[in-house]
Every structure is written in C-alpha cells, then in structure tokens.
C-alpha cells in the first residue's frame, strides 16, 4: 500500500513584508498580522490564511515545506522539521521552536533549524509585500 495515502497534508499561504529579516536561530513564525517591525526577526510570512482546526489534526513529526514559484517557473524551497505541540490553539500565529517550550501559539517543538535557514533568495523575494509563499505541512 502506498504510504503517501496515509500521510496528512495541509497547505496555506503567506506573504512577504519589507521588514522581513528571517535571522532568528531558534524559532520561526507565520502570522496573520499584515505589518511587522524589524524586531520580528523570526517571522517568515505575514497575512497567513491558515485554519487552526486543520492544523490541530496533526499530532506527530511533520515537515514544513515553504515554497515560492518564481516568474520563470523555478521553485525555491526551504524545509523545516519539528514535532507538533498538543498545546497549539492559536488562530492568529503559528510558531515553531527549537526548544521544548510550548504555548497556545506553539505549533511545533524540536525544530531542526530556525528562520535563519530560510533560503536567502526566498528571503529577498519575501521582502516584497506582494510576494506569496505556500507553506505545506506533511505528517
């Protein structure tokens, strides 16, 4: 039997922002906020359209695949891995952490790499507020 059939998968969209830095080494975050300051150095996507109830269906280890399709058709990706936190209950922010700290905003713990590992070409594109990025979570 194909194992792919048994895997949970969910995709949502985020957008870029001129203040996006993606330099935090221990966390990364997606937010529904439209505006961020440069202090928000873990945020790699704003105006997120995720559905909390869809995210709460995950309970194990997941891959978080961030992808941008450039105008020439080339697809840029960055992949992160973590374990889902059972405490996640936010309909506004989705935070992934290297540590084991968990709160209602924490979707993932034991993150393998922080926002600073986001593909730098993707980061440059994401400094444009009109640039979209797909975020796919696979269990």
Q: Which residue has the tokens 């975020």?
A: 135
> pLDDT at residue 4 above 70?
no
Q: Average the pLDDT over 56-62 and give the result.
A: 97
pLDDT digits (tens, 9 = 90+) for 18-56: 999 999 999 999 999 999 999 999 999 999 999 999 999
pLDDT digits (tens, 9 = 90+) for 61-110: 999 999 999 999 999 999 999 999 999 999 999 999 999 999 999 999 99
Alpha carbon distance 78, 34 (integer Å): 22
Q: Tell me the β-bridge partners of 62.
A: 82
Residue 7 has a pLDDT of 83
> pLDDT at residue 1 above 50?
no
Q: How are strands ordered across the β-sheet holding 93-97?
A: 9-15, 132-138, 61-69, 75-84, 106-109, 93-97, 27-31, 43-45
Q: Which residue has the tokens 């992934």?
A: 96
Q: Average the pLDDT over 115-119 and give the result.
A: 97
pTM of the predicted model as reported, rounded to 2 decimal places: 0.94
Q: How many angstroms separate the Cα of 66 from the Cα of each of 2, 59, 129? A: 24, 20, 16
Hey, what long-range contacts does 36-41 have (CB within 8 A, 24 or more apart)? Answer: 41/115
Closest by CA position to 113, among listed 99, 101, 98: 98
Q: Which residue has the tokens 């439209």?
A: 34
Q: Average the pLDDT over 4-15 and give the result.
A: 87
């Amino acid at each position: 039997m194909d194992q792919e059939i048994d895997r949970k998968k969910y995709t949502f969209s985020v957008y870029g922002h001129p203040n996006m830095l993606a330099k935090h080494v221990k966390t990364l975050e997606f937010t529904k906020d439209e505006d961020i300051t440069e202090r928000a150095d873990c945020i790699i996507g704003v105006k997120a359209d995720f559905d909390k109830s869809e995210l709460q269906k995950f309970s194990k280890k997941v891959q978080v695949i961030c992808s941008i399709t450039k105008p020439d058709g080339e697809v840029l990706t960055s992949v992160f891995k973590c374990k889902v936190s059972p405490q996640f209950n936010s309909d506004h922010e989705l935070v992934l952490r290297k540590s084991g700290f968990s709160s209602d905003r924490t979707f993932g713990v034991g993150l393998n790499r922080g926002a600073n590992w986001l593909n730098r070409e993707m980061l440059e594109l994401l400094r444009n507020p009109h640039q979209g990025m797909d975020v796919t979570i696979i269990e």
